[in-house]
Amino acid sequence: MATDSSAYEEMIKGLWRDNPVFVQVLGMCPMLAVTNSAINAVVMGLATFFVLVGSSFLVSSFKQWIPKQVRISLYIIIIATFVTVVDYSLLALLPAIHKELGAFIPLIVANCMILGRQEAFASKHNVKYAVMDAVGMSGGFMIALFALGSVREILGVGAFFGIDLFGTNFESWVIMILPPGGFLTLGLLLLFFNWFTERRREFLLKVAESDRMAYVDGDK
């Protein structure tokens, strides 16, 4: 039971507390490049999910056979293999989506979040934790991509998942789908995220304080 809850903990931490984008600020290339629409963000998130979980599983399973001196190149080989598999599978099964994401799928190889998880986590933990960690991290990555993609598509095109939201009178903010819009939105989301975390910490402190006071009062 105890191990289960800590495995769950490994998964949950990637979603919020150690979110790869909002807290660790990793994987910025796909983050800014493909998030000009919600659907692109979701597919990029799914592709990253597959690559990260697969690589973490393999790296963790073979960690005693991976010599430290050549580990980075071995991680890259493993990651690149998964990325190629995703690239060809998408091209064969979902050609329309592949057309949209085109150049960015091969670039998953260079997503520092994935290599970072291998180096910092999968190579030091057993398979179960490594996979849970990978699921959580890619989940958190997907949430961040989706948040950015939705904001940029809604403001930049006036649509959500391609469905028109505001009718013809809406003048779309063209800058939001261009690269500067990505930086702006990411900055604002980071601001919001940190503000929220700060508020939550203060709130928890306050609750703890009042609990203590109540306890002291009750003691009297």
Binding footprint of other proteins on the chain (CB under 8 A):
36-37, 40, 64-70, 73-74, 77-78, 80-81, 84-85, 88-89, 91-93, 95, 99-100, 102-103, 124-126, 153, 156-157, 174, 177-178
Backbone phi and psi for residue 46, each to the nearest 5 degrees, phi listed first? -65, -40
Please spell the DSSP secondary structure of 140-186, one letter per residue.
HHHHHHHHHHHHHHHHHTSEETTEE-S-TT----GGGGSHHHHHHHH
In terms of Cβ atoms closer than 10 Å to its own Cβ (0-12, 13-18, 19+), residue 73 is exposed
Beta carbon of residue 209, minimum distance to other proteins (angstroms, whole number):
36
Q: Let me know: does 121 contact 130? Beta carbons within 8 Å.
A: yes
With respect to other proteins, which residue has the nearer C-beta, 93 or 216? 93
**Please, which residue, 6 or 210, has the CB nearer to other proteins?**
6
CB of 216 to other proteins, least distance (A): 40
Give the number of other Cβ atoms within 10 Å of residue 129's Cβ: 20
**Residue whose CB is less far from other proteins, 85 or 191:** 85
Q: Are 108 and 124 in contact (CB under 8 A)?
A: no
- Cβ 11 to other proteins, closest distance in Å? 18
Select 19 or 118, whichever has its Cβ closest to other proteins. Answer: 118
In the complex, least distance from residue 15 CB atom to other proteins, rounded to whole angstroms: 25
